[in-house]
Structure 1
């Protein structure tokens, strides 16, 4: 081939590593001065040479720190317009490199090349396209929902930003990607993340009020006794002067909690409560 004839080849030295992305000409010059100063001190063992080395060392270290900081600021400022530089820098910081291990083919033998690995993975996900959905439910969604009781998005832009994670996940399934998001949720029998946050609030309130959590419910709620229709665990809703207070866990759950029927509130276990509230809300949606 022409490449083998006309393109010169080089053999890198053993242990030769590529230069860091942040390394500038000034940094390299200062590092070389430091190394020369150290070599001179090792040869003479004079105090004056050691003092000269310390000055060169401090100057080199300061130059390196400054170069790293400026490069990271540059990468961060261009992360949206030039993401390639961002991921290149991230990759350079990862010390361990992992590859896809050998996979078992349908005939029971292991793959021997990257092409065979790609074929096995492609066949697997094509035949079991809903496997990705199960992975999303098991691995991704818990991270999206982590800490919802504390951080509960109420601004529309934040709600949409979180919901887009599940929108994207459901659209990766080829058979239903042409449907709307609501239709995809119905086909997959998935609730929206907004609904799951609301449901999670009810479950946490149930745990606190029924003593399942080792927390005194008086710290969050005031239970009121009433002769009106409903259950005996209705909560008082104090006046809120700020929207921040209104969105707090102890405030935002009160309306939903007070509207639950007796058969849901009287559940004996958390699992029974989950089943009862799902049945109640599903019937409410149908009616």
Structure 2
């Protein structure tokens, strides 16, 4: 467990009335995500920007769209690829599997703000 996660666990235990709950339940009660979910959220937001908005041109180099008629989940599936060590491409390896599991309403959001709100709802349902 990383130091930041230990600090998060310790600090949420100090809140009166929540000390008897598990760490996940304390975070849920406080409306917070674990550090792992926050990292994933940041990666998915960056992927949205690369694929849909601000960095769309660069996104064409980073991500490959999967050609498939199976649109279960969302219609904007990505293909996992193999990359040589290139720091910019690490995000693609971390995010593709999660991106493909997102619902269409998150992936096809009209703006980044709408996507963030829908993504938060989807992530809060993850265990």
For the aligned pair, the TM-score class normalised by the smaller chain equals: 0.7 to 0.9
TM-score, normalization: structure 2?
Answer: 0.78
Unaligned runs of 5+ in 2: none
Aligned to 1:201: 43
Work out whether 1:217 is the aligned partner of 2:70: no
Could you report, residue by residue, the CA deviation over 1:149-194 in whole angstroms, capped at 9, with x for unpaired residues? xxxxxxxx4xx32211211221332333343322322322221111
Query: Equivalences for 1:156-167 in 2 at 5 Å?
Result: 157=1, 160-167=2-9
Work out whether 1:239 is the aligned partner of 2:67: no
Greater relative contact order structure (CA < 8 Å, 6+ sep):
2
RMSD in angstroms over aligned alpha carbons? 2.8
Could you report, residue by residue, the CA deviation over 1:200-247 in whole angstroms, capped at 9, with x for unpaired residues? 1111100110022375112311123321124342211113689x98x9
Q: Aligned partners of 1:214 and 1:260: how far apart in 2? A: 19
Unaligned runs of 5+ in 1: 1-156
Query: Equivalences for 1:1-287 in 2 at 5 Å?
Result: 157=1, 160-213=2-55, 216-230=58-72, 231-239=74-82, 248-283=90-125
Larger Rg: 1
Number of aligned residue pairs: 125
TM-score, normalization: structure 1?
Answer: 0.38
Q: 1:281 to 1:188 in 2, by over 3 A?
A: closer
